[in-house]
């Protein structure tokens, strides 16, 4: 398996960029919780070993790498709330989280490598979109790790407030147990009402009560 490398970072540097941030988001698919993005500026002289798409790492390895990334890189985290997801749709909310992550960096970057095939419309920094970028660029891979670590902790915290949905293990994704809990326990304030499984339950409840 080919691991992500510095090819795209080096290409940006060849065109005059110095501070290059990888940007990725996590949490488009869940039925509950915010969408979270991270922006990471790596030091080319201190690239953590084993960076790859967060989905290809064990939870233990992700946690270890996140600590290393915090020590050797600059990190910005941004998120968009459930209310924002329902208001502006998940794609735009994902882009909003990315914009906020870039804005949260301690120093502004001069080039962005963004996971996906679109550049968020309100970013004014030069950017390169990379489909499956977390498998191509170490900067995006690092961002995928930081975003997942952050969001998983958010969902574990929410699971303490709303037990029974299994958010501490399913992170709000539509697992069998999560969907069963939705039917049995109902919809929480942290569920995305614009998502069909949640919308359908609310509609059914409305029809029954009506």
A 10 A CB-CB count for 182 gives 22
Confidence at residue 205, expressed as pLDDT on a 0 to 100 scale: 52
Calculate mean pLDDT across residues 55-70.
94
Calculate mean pLDDT across residues 175-203.
93
Helix, strand or coil for residue 176? helix
| Residue 104 confidence class, pLDDT cut points 50, 70, 90 | very high
Query: Could you say which DSSP state residue 74 is in?
Result: E
**pTM of the full structure:** 0.94
pLDDT at residue 206 is higher than 90: no
Q: What's the CATH class of domain 7-160?
A: alpha beta
Calculate mean pLDDT across residues 106-127.
96
48-52 long-range CB contacts below 8 Å, 24 or more apart? 48/72, 48/142, 51/3, 51/4, 51/138, 51/141, 51/142, 51/145, 52/3, 52/4, 52/134, 52/135, 52/141
10 Å CB burial of residue 101 (0-12, 13-18, 19+) is buried
pLDDT at residue 77 is higher than 80: yes
State how far the Cα of 141 lies from the Cα of 158, in Å rounded to an integer.
Answer: 26
Confidence at residue 69, expressed as pLDDT on a 0 to 100 scale: 97
Sign of CA dihedral 183, 185, 186, 190: negative
pLDDT at residue 208 is higher than 80: no
Confidence at residue 210, expressed as pLDDT on a 0 to 100 scale: 47
Confidence at residue 58, expressed as pLDDT on a 0 to 100 scale: 92
Candidates 19, 22, 42; CA nearest to 128 is: 22
Confidence at residue 201, expressed as pLDDT on a 0 to 100 scale: 86
Calculate mean pLDDT across residues 184-198.
95
Confidence at residue 88, expressed as pLDDT on a 0 to 100 scale: 97
Give percent of the chain above pLDDT 70. 96
Confidence at residue 1, expressed as pLDDT on a 0 to 100 scale: 65
Tokens for 75? Answer: 């990190």
State how far the Cα of 4 lies from the Cα of 108, in Å rounded to an integer.
Answer: 24
pLDDT at residue 126 is higher than 80: yes
Calculate mean pLDDT across residues 85-92.
97
pLDDT at residue 108 is higher than 90: yes
Q: Express each pLDDT in 1-36 by its tens digit.
A: 688 999 999 999 999 999 999 999 999 999 999 999
Q: Boundaries of CATH 3.30.420.10 in the chain? A: 7-160
Phi and psi for 164 in degrees, rounded to 5? 105, -20
pLDDT at residue 209 is higher than 80: no
């Amino acid at each position: 398996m080919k691991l992500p490398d510095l090819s795209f970072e080096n290409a940006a540097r060849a065109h005059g960029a110095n501070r290059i941030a990888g940007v990725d988001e996590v949490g488009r698919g869940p039925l509950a919780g915010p969408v979270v993005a991270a922006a990471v500026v790596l030091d080319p002289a201190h690239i953590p070993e084993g960076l790859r798409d967060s989905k290809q790492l064990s939870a233990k390895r992700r946690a270890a790498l996140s600590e290393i990334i915090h020590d050797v890189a600059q990190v910005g985290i941004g998120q968009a709330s459930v209310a924002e997801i329902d208001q502006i749709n998940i794609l735009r909310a994902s882009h909003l989280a990315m914009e906020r992550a870039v804005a949260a960096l301690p120093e502004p970057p001069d080039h962005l490598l963004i996971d996906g095939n679109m550049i968020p419309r309100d970013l004014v920094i030069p950017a390169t979109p990379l489909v499956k970028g977390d498998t191509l660029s170490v900067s995006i891979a690092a961002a995928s790790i930081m975003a997942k670590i952050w969001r998983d902790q958010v969902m574990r915290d929410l699971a303490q407030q709303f037990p029974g949905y299994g958010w501490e293990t399913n992170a709000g994704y539509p697992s069998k147990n999560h969907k069963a809990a939705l039917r049995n326990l109902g919809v929480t304030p942290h569920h995305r009402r614009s998502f069909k499984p949640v919308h359908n339950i609310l509609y059914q409840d409305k029809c029954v009560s009506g």
